[in-house]
Every structure is written in structure tokens, then in C-alpha cells.
Chains A and B, each alone.
Chain A
């Protein structure tokens, strides 16, 4: 089975999750996640060699509907909860680095 989760992995997962953790949180979560994952290992007692994975319980595959234009929320409602906006846009910090020369 997978090796026990350590602080380096917790930091990596935090980065993937876009969660800035404090050192104290890294330490706390490492212990707690380790305990939870130890418990979860219990699943390995079961032989699942010929078992299909079940992602959800309904016998649904594709659900089709008519391709018809319907009313949408509109700009004002859509932007109504934006933390920052600029006219008709969501406003965010610059995403391109000026120094890249691109």
C-alpha cells in the first residue's frame, strides 16, 4: 500500500488545492490525514479484482434535451456577487508577467 502521507505531501496537496496553509495547519493535517488514511486502508481487506467501479447509482448514461435558446441570467445578475468588477468584467490581478518579454 501507499507510503504514509508526510508533511511534504501535505504541502504539495495544499498547493494543488490552492489552499495556503500555516505551518501549524500542515502539522495538524498531516497527523489527521494519516489517521484517516490508515483507517481507509481497511478497504484493502476486500478483494475487488473483478468488481466494476460504481460512480453513481442511477442507470443514467446520456440525458438529452432540446437544443433551444432559453433566457439566461444576464450580465447584472451574473456579476452581482463579484468581489471586484470592472464594467462588464470580473476584475482579477494581472495574470501575465511583464518581464517575460512575451
Chain B
């Protein structure tokens, strides 16, 4: 039977063993979508018929004894900033509302090759710009743990879908915390791989030197399974890393490898800004590792405090350039009011971009404009180097760094939407990993007094996803936070 306790890996194993059919799994997910999606709003589009056809094909091949892929029959969701040749790829923006991609993103090709059943495309902050999914130009997603609260963002739809069991695993993208923060807010696992580990080909660009695709799952093992499918070099993405330089391994196989003399660094001064309940959950999480024999070292990372400032210049500068392609000429919305070619640009963009996207394009354009380039953009790139230096020296003293994912639990819908700076500040713990290019994972580590999930963030050196997942798995084995489910689904 398909139950809400099943993880993606368990489901896959049962489908392979003939205990559950792929069609049963897909039908169970669509039944739940029918019941809960009107409340949760995780999906921009769903593909019932297509999914069931894929599932039936997997079942047929299993019966015939033909080979199947590593995710055979597993219902998964994809964030709507990854191109698919079926349906629209909207980025939750009115400018791309009717955009039909002419090719699949490499990660989508890889999911399909692994025989995953793609259920739908998930909601997000428009162009992945935001921390609450409230900036979606198309719909609102709520947090399954408390429907008056945000699911986090920008991969809020993916995190809410996994938490509410509207799929078994999902892909998100993380430019400044957009996988880890919603995973933390929704009580699920979210992994941002090292920059360059997963192909960005077909991912609609926001901040190209920061964007990275990764899994959102119920368990650490499911993230390892997803990484086995999506990681690796792609000739179509020149920033995806050569596997000779940084080999991809079997992340599932290495998950339970014992880690001897584990050294964990904490950054006491930096972590002190979090809410009391978040800090308490952190202390308890560290205690779990202490009991397992880990050594805790206190370190100083003096430049982390400047990460938000540097990020909101670098990311918006890159965005202002990346989003110049939305010109109303080649694809996307074109204003009907434009009378000359300049108005085709300026009116189309004004009509179809949301406020946060406009704000970031403005900020980035300003930071790159003549007279301000040195003071803002160049300065931010130098600060970025200092931040990366903090990580390099930290990893000489430890295997991983631990800190909260976010300073608070999920906030109320509407609470920060009128104050962009306050919204930006909620990314304080996640942003540095993107600037330094290192991998980070969010794992459930407790609840506050209102039963809202708290996430533990673990950061590891570049290309050490195997170790990062194994460290996360150590915690998961000792705790049952990941087995808790929001009341709405039971």
C-alpha cells in the first residue's frame, strides 16, 4: 500500500519488488493532490494523464523484466524554473505564463531517463527572487504545518509538496538559500550541492554564479538517491564541473559509511542572532553529535556578517543582466500598448514583471551603472572573496560547519512582504554558502511551541556532498523529527 510514511527510496524498492505498482503510487499522489492542493497551492501545473502513462509504462517494463531506471515509478515534482517540453515553464511570472520550452533542462532529462514520474511543476517566488513564495505572480502557496504561514522560498512549492506528500521528492533551486530555507520551514530535507555539481542547463537563470539545482526530500537517503540521478558533468553547461577533477560517487552507498573523529565547527557569535527556540533546537542537535563522539570546535568567521550585503549586490547585478532577455520580442509577454520598439521593452516588462523582480533589476542595474560599479559591485566581489576565505580557513579546522537554516520559524503570510530589507535579512544563514560555492543541507531538528519545524544546517567543503549526506544521516538515525507529519495530511 502507498502510505504517507513511505520515503521515495522505499517506494522505489517496493515498486521494483512488485509490492506496489507505479500506477498505484501515481494514483495515490493525485488523490492527495485532489484533496489538499486547493489548500496548499504547491503546484503551478500538474500532469495527471502524462504521469499515469509513464507509470503504466514502468509497470509494463517491470513485468516484462526489462531494465528500469533508479527512480522507476517514483512520483516527483520539478520547480517551475526548469524547462520542460511538456506544459509551460513559467518561473511563476506573468512574463512567461505561456512559455513552452523547446527543450528539457538536463536535470529533467535525467529524471526522465531514471524513469521518474513527473507529477507537476511547483510554485516559487517569481524568477526565484524571494524567501516566502509570496512573490509568485501566479498563485499563493501555504505552509502545510500552518496554512496562515509561508512555506519559505523561493522553492516553496517544492518544499510544501514534499511535506504535504503531494509528491515523493522534488527538485528546487538555491541561489541564496532557496532550497534549504523552505525545506527548514516545511520540516523536510533540502540539499544545495556545490556550485558546478549539477547542470544548470535549462534552469532559467537568476544569479548565474550562485544558482544551483538540488533535491527537496523527506529523508537524507532520498536526497542521496536524487543526487545519484542529477549530479555530474554536462557538456551543455560550461560551469558544470569535470568529473575527472571532482568525481561523482554513489551517494546512497556512502551514506552509512562510519565517520571517525568527526569535527564539527560552530560559529557562536554568528548563531546568536537566532530566536531562542531555534537556538535551543540547535544546541540539542549539537548534543546528539556530541553523544556520537563528535568533537565540537568553536570558530570565528568574521566576514559572514557581510554576506547579505554582498549577495544582494552580486545576485541583483547578475539578475539585471540575465533578465534583459525578456524583451517582448523573442518569447514571453508583449504589451499591446507599445507603439515603438523601446515601448515594446519598457511596457512589456512593466506590465508582466512583479514588484520584487523590478526592484532587483533596478538595484542590480544601479550597482553596475557608471559611477557606482566600484563602490558596489566590485566591492561586493571583494567581500565575496573574504567570505570564501572564511570557509577555506574554517574547513582546515573541521569537517563541517553547523548553524541554523533560518533565524526564525516560518513567518506569517504578509508579515514581511512590504519590507524587502527585512525579507532579505531572513536569509542570513544560508547566503554565504552560495557566495563561497560550498554545499549545504537542511535537516529537520525540532519544533517550536507552535509545532512549526526548525531546520539544522550543515555546510561542507566543495564537492564533499557524500560526507555532508553521511553527517546528516548520522543525525537522522538518532532522531525522529523527519518522521513527523503536518496534521493536515493525517
Please determine whether A52 and B382 come into contact, CB atoms closer than 8 angstroms: yes
Q: Does A83 contact B (CB under 8 A)?
A: yes
**Chain B residues near A44 (CB-CB < 8 A):** 379
- A33 vs B320: C-alpha distance in the bound complex, in angstroms? 15
- A29 vs B238: C-alpha distance in the bound complex, in angstroms? 36
- Tell me how many residues of A have a C-beta within 8 Å of chain B: 54
Q: How far is the CB of A77 from chain B (nearest CB, A)?
A: 4
Please determine whether B346 and A19 come into contact, CB atoms closer than 8 angstroms: yes
Q: Does B130 contact A (CB under 8 A)?
A: no
Please determine whether B239 and A56 come into contact, CB atoms closer than 8 angstroms: yes
Q: Does B313 contact A (CB under 8 A)?
A: yes
Please determine whether A40 and B346 come into contact, CB atoms closer than 8 angstroms: no
Q: Does B45 contact A (CB under 8 A)?
A: no
Q: Does B358 contact A (CB under 8 A)?
A: yes
Q: Does B353 contact A (CB under 8 A)?
A: yes
Q: Does A69 contact B (CB under 8 A)?
A: no
Q: Does A7 contact B (CB under 8 A)?
A: no
Name the CB-closest residue of A to B353: A19
Q: Which of A19, A42, A63, A94 lies in contact with B349, CB distance below 8 A?
A: A19
Contact bitstring A1-33, B, C-beta under 8 A = 1, else 0: 110010001100111111111000100010011
Contact bitstring B313-356, A, C-beta under 8 A = 1, else 0: 10000001000100111111110001111111111011001010
Interface of B is mostly: helix
- A47 vs B424: C-alpha distance in the bound complex, in angstroms? 24
Please determine whether B383 and A43 come into contact, CB atoms closer than 8 angstroms: yes
A53-B381 CB under 8 A given contacts A18-B345, A80-B102, A92-B344: yes
**Chain B residues near A14 (CB-CB < 8 A):** 362
**Chain B residues near A15 (CB-CB < 8 A):** 346
Q: How far is the CB of B145 from chain A (nearest CB, A)?
A: 30
Please determine whether B421 and A32 come into contact, CB atoms closer than 8 angstroms: yes
**Chain B residues near A40 (CB-CB < 8 A):** 309, 312-313, 376, 380
A95-B341 CB under 8 A given contacts A40-B376, A81-B99: yes
Of A20, A29, A42, chain B has the most CB atoms within 10 Å of the CB of: A20
A48-B341 CB under 8 A given contacts A32-B421, A56-B209, A92-B329: no
Name the CB-closest residue of A to B336: A83
Q: Does B195 contact A (CB under 8 A)?
A: yes
Q: Does B52 contact A (CB under 8 A)?
A: no
**Chain A residues near B329 (CB-CB < 8 A):** 82-83, 90, 92
Stretch of B69-77, B363-371, B477-485 contacting A (4+ beta carbons < 8 Å): B363-371
Q: Does A54 contact B (CB under 8 A)?
A: yes
Please determine whether A43 and B306 come into contact, CB atoms closer than 8 angstroms: yes
- Tell me how many residues of B have a C-beta within 8 Å of chain A: 72
Q: Which of A48, A57, A81, A93 lies in contact with B340, CB distance below 8 A?
A: A93
- A12 vs B353: C-alpha distance in the bound complex, in angstroms? 18
Of A13, A14, A25, A82, chain B has the most CB atoms within 10 Å of the CB of: A13
A-B contact count (CB 8 A): 167
**Chain B residues near A21 (CB-CB < 8 A):** 350, 358
Name the CB-closest residue of B to A74: B102
- A8 vs B76: C-alpha distance in the bound complex, in angstroms? 48
Q: Does A102 contact B (CB under 8 A)?
A: no
- A18 vs B372: C-alpha distance in the bound complex, in angstroms? 19
**Chain A residues near B82 (CB-CB < 8 A):** none
Please determine whether B388 and A54 come into contact, CB atoms closer than 8 angstroms: yes
**Chain B residues near A80 (CB-CB < 8 A):** 100, 102
Q: Does B420 contact A (CB under 8 A)?
A: yes
**Chain B residues near A65 (CB-CB < 8 A):** 235
Please determine whether B372 and A2 come into contact, CB atoms closer than 8 angstroms: yes
**Chain B residues near A33 (CB-CB < 8 A):** 359, 362-363, 366
**Chain A residues near B103 (CB-CB < 8 A):** 73
Q: Does B255 contact A (CB under 8 A)?
A: no
- A17 vs B345: C-alpha distance in the bound complex, in angstroms? 9
- A63 vs B338: C-alpha distance in the bound complex, in angstroms? 41
**Chain A residues near B339 (CB-CB < 8 A):** 93
Of A10, A81, A90, A95, chain B has the most CB atoms within 10 Å of the CB of: A81
Q: How far is the CB of B25 from chain A (nearest CB, A)?
A: 33
Q: Does B303 contact A (CB under 8 A)?
A: yes
A54-B239 CB under 8 A given contacts A5-B366, A92-B341: no
Please determine whether A57 and B306 come into contact, CB atoms closer than 8 angstroms: no
Q: Does B385 contact A (CB under 8 A)?
A: yes
Please determine whether B379 and A32 come into contact, CB atoms closer than 8 angstroms: no
Can you spell out 11 A-B residue pairs with CB atoms less than 8 angstroms apart?
A9-B366, A18-B349, A25-B355, A42-B305, A48-B383, A57-B209, A58-B195, A80-B102, A81-B102, A92-B329, A95-B340
Known: A17-B362, A65-B235, A81-B99. 10 other contacts (CB 8 A): A18-B342, A19-B358, A39-B424, A43-B306, A55-B381, A57-B195, A58-B196, A80-B102, A82-B329, A92-B329
